[in-house]
Amino acid sequence: MKSPVGIGFLSFAHGHVQAYAEVMKHFDDARLVIGYDDKPERGKPLCENAGMRYTPHIEDVLHHPDVQAVIIGGETSRHEELAVAAAQAGKHILLQKPLAFSMEACDTIIAAVNKAGIHFAMAFQMRHDPANIRIREIVHSGMLGDIAVIRRRHCIGVLLMDSFVNGLTRWHIEADKNKGMFMDDAVHPADWFNWIFGKPVSVMAEIDNIITNIAPDDNGYAIYRFRHGEMGTIFNSSVVMAAEGTTEIYGSKGVLIQNYGDGPACGVPRCPDGPALKVFRYGENDWDIQDVPIPPGGQGDRIRNVPRPWLDSLIAETPPPATAEDGRIATEMILGAYQSSESGKRVTFPLS
């Protein structure tokens, strides 16, 4: 594909899409053309800031001759509608997570994308974090040996923030638009697990409201089993404001510890010499302890890192960093956790 690529936006409901526009307006090989949003008070100022035309009509984006690709940031309940319409219009797509909140909707999107033959990518930010990239390299190198247990925390504190609960972001807490907070946010570590360890074979979970009744759920814990027997846990909460120790990976040859990997850990004051990653390797007589050099960063950095590799893959016509199938797997992992929580039983994949 020739550059600059004409980019259109289909809704700015999801805040991450605003960050993509802010970054991409400085790209030489992209041109932000037009943005749609059904809420003028949300879409118009964002479009003006990014130097593109605002429209309240989806068709203005889908039929615009200068738009080759669209970024979809609508409410999760609108992903199927918007993605299918974009695919039928022949527009390449970057879709905000999750792919959808039913397997049927996921399959409808994938069928539309395949029929249209367009380039489709999921905006999975975890894959663009330098610490996560290094974790994946370490695990795949065999440095830690056979993996037994992985613990990953991915938390936010938004349900304790009035600006989130009563602002334009309120759709996140409405069941018909987003299913639940675990659906919305735990999909990130679900993709992280799939990206590093592959698709799991089963899950057991508890998802519920513990200290609020604002959203359909505010805390969730899921235990996944993977094909080599590994146990991987996701702790996701929307009422955590501060934390440390984001990731632990325990193997037969060593242990990896990550800090500063989610919002609460990135938001607290950091020790000046505190490493983002540390590896402990077992020895007969002593420990081999390595601080893994990773530049300081936060959640905002990896969100802003999403557009560049997507655009590169689009121009080069190479596979995207995260595919529609990756999006389907992450959705299935989360829906399986909800099924387990509701039934009180282990749930196996694929979902029946």
18-27 pLDDT, tens digit per residue, is: 999 999 999 9
Residue 242's CB is within 10 A of a number of other CB atoms, namely 12
Q: What is the pLDDT of residue 284?
A: 66
Q: What is the pLDDT of residue 297?
A: 66
> 35 Cβ partners below 8 Å, 6+ apart?
8, 9, 12, 21, 43, 46, 47, 50, 52, 53, 54, 55, 61
Task: Please choose, from the candidates 2, 41, 4, the residue with its C-alpha nearest in 3D space to the C-alpha of residue 25.
Answer: 4
The pair of three-digit structure tokens given for residue 58, joined into one six-digit string: 């989806």
Cα 66 to the center of its chain, rounded Å:
28
Task: Please choose, from the candidates 107, 110, 129, the residue with its C-alpha nearest in 3D space to the C-alpha of residue 118.
Answer: 110
What DSSP state is assigned to residue 169?
G
DSSP string, 251-271: ESSEEEEE-S-SHHHHHSPPP
Contact of 235 with 255, CB cutoff 8 Å: no
Q: What is the pLDDT of residue 288?
A: 78
Task: Measure the CA–CA gap between 121 and 90, rounded to whole angstroms.
Answer: 14
Residue spans of the chain under pLDDT 70? 284-286, 295-297
Residue 23's CB is within 10 A of a number of other CB atoms, namely 17
What is the SS3 assignment for 317?
coil
Q: Strand 30-36 to strand 5-10: parallel, antiparallel, or no bridges (unpaired)?
A: parallel
Contact of 185 with 332, CB cutoff 8 Å: no
Task: Measure the CA–CA gap between 256 and 248, rounded to whole angstroms.
Answer: 6
Q: Strand 247-251 to strand 254-258: parallel, antiparallel, or no bridges (unpaired)?
A: antiparallel
* Residue ranges in the chain assigned as alpha helix (H): 15-24, 40-50, 58-62, 79-88, 103-116, 130-141, 162-165, 175-178, 181-185, 187-197, 263-267, 299-304, 307-316, 324-343
What is the SS3 assignment for 99?
coil
DSSP string, 2-23: -SSEEEEEE---SHHHHHHHHH
168-195 pLDDT, tens digit per residue, is: 899 999 999 999 999 999 999 999 999 9
Q: Strand 53-55 to strand 30-36: parallel, antiparallel, or no bridges (unpaired)?
A: parallel
Task: Measure the CA–CA gap between 223 and 150, rounded to whole angstroms.
Answer: 10
Task: Measure the CA–CA gap between 310 and 124, rounded to whole angstroms.
Answer: 11
Task: Measure the CA–CA gap between 29 and 41, rounded to whole angstroms.
Answer: 29
Residue type, position 218, single letter: D
Contact of 42 with 65, CB cutoff 8 Å: no
Q: Cα torsion for 58, 64, 69, 75, to the nearest 10°?
A: -10
What DSSP state is assigned to residue 273?
T
Q: What is the pLDDT of residue 63?
A: 97
Domains and CATH numbers, the chain: 5-118 (3.40.50.720), 128-299+332-348 (3.30.360.10)
- Whole-model pTM? 0.95
266-308 pLDDT, tens digit per residue, is: 888 877 777 889 999 987 666 777 777 776 667 788 999 999 9
